[in-house]
């Protein structure tokens, strides 16, 4: 079994989030779609995440999940 690259891992996580979310118009899905659409710009971000947080893949998943939630809170005006 081969280990996915940082890009494959992060984009795979985002694709799974989209597939598992039943409300396709929800903000987490829209944010995940935007991140995937800006894939070329995200390459250095994914590489740094992997460099700083691997080998614990859970840490990368948590970071991506919390990042989406922070974007939602900021966009909704909630700063708690």
The single-letter DSSP state of residue 1 is -
pTM of the full structure: 0.76
Domain around 35: 6-76
Query: What was the pLDDT predicted at 80?
Result: 46
Give domain status of residue 1, yes or no.
Answer: no
Query: What was the pLDDT predicted at 37?
Result: 94
Q: Is the dihedral of CA 24, 27, 28, 29 positive or negative?
A: positive
| Count of structural domains, the chain | 1
Half-sphere exposure of 31 (CA within 13 A, CB side): 18
- DSSP H helices, the chain, are 6-20, 27-37, 39-53, 57-76
Q: Which two tokens stand for residue 40?
A: 């070329």
Give domain status of residue 59, yes or no.
Answer: yes
Q: Which two tokens stand for residue 5?
A: 């690259």
One digit per residue, pLDDT tens: the chain, 80 residues?
678 888 999 999 999 988 988 776 777 788 889 899 999 999 999 999 888 888 788 888 888 888 777 765 555 555 54
């Amino acid at each position: 079994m081969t280990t996915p690259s940082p890009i494959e891992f992060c984009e795979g996580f985002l694709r799974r989030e989209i597939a598992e979310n039943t409300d396709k118009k929800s903000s987490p899905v829209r944010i995940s779609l935007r991140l995937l659409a800006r894939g070329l710009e995200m390459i250095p971000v994914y590489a740094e995440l992997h460099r700083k947080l691997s080998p614990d893949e859970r840490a990368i998943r948590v970071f991506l999940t919390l990042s989406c939630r922070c974007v939602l809170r900021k966009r909704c005006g909630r700063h708690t």
